[in-house]
Amino acid sequence: MVAPEPIEPLPEDWERGLVIAAHPDDVEYGAAAAIARWTGQGKTIVYCMVTSGEAGIDAMPPEQTGPLREKEEREAARVVGVDEVEFLGYPDGVVEYGLPLRRDLARVIRRHRPNIVITGNFRETFGGVMLNQADHIAVGRAVLDAARDAGNRWVFRELLDEGHEPWNKVRAIWAGGSPEARHGVDTTATFQLGVQSLEAHAGYLGALEGHPEPAEFLEGLARADGTRLGTRFATSFEVYPLMLF
């Protein structure tokens, strides 16, 4: 049997992080345990959800699902030490990559001025034959570009008129759950907080037929990443550096 490729520890010499995800619950499939570690170190982390996940429950109309999922995401964030969660209100399931999304995400980055931007996997698959979802791909691509747009005062000049000065101090974008991940963080001490964060989505998970128990599902992912990092549990990320010095 071929040993899994080792991954390197992520740097933790930063103070402010911004998580940008397509849907409520995206962060909770592994990254939340890492967020708990970082907030426990005193770092400030903010969540921004592009949609409210209103198309996620087949048996419930969107006007009911959206508020439910927003409420569950705020509780999931609270569990791991995140106090601020915002929702951009894009339509769930049909998010399009383009200038409007880049502009709105650049605005968010300029407002929160993070050192690290965290998002989800935006490659075509999660590895093997498991296809990624269109919103994840559109949002991740837009995050990558918006982080650079945020630092250029001549891109989206209307943001200057709104009072949002450029922010060019994003060191890197970290994409959780990527099949091309080469870095990771030890989540052994915060794994249970990650489980509780996913469990906060009780209404949503309860509507998904055959969904495994959160602890069981997350343990499989965390153990695999931990093996690569040399720890009991870990969360892996693909790193896209923006600052080389």
Q: What percent of the chain has pLDDT over 70?
A: 98
Per-residue pLDDT at 64: 97
Q: What CATH code is assigned to 13-241?
A: 3.40.50.10320
The model carries a pTM of 0.96
Helix%, strand%, coil% for the chain, nearest 5? 40, 20, 45
| Ranges of each domain in the chain | 13-241
What torsion, rounded to 10 degrees, do the Cα atoms 115, 21, 189, 215 define?
-170
Q: Measured between alpha carbons, how far is 146 from 138 in angstroms, rounded to an integer?
A: 12
State the Cα angle at 65 between 60 and 67, rounded to 5°: 150
| Over residues 34-40, mean pLDDT | 98
Give pLDDT tens digits for 62-111.
999 999 999 999 999 999 999 999 999 999 999 999 999 999 999 999 99
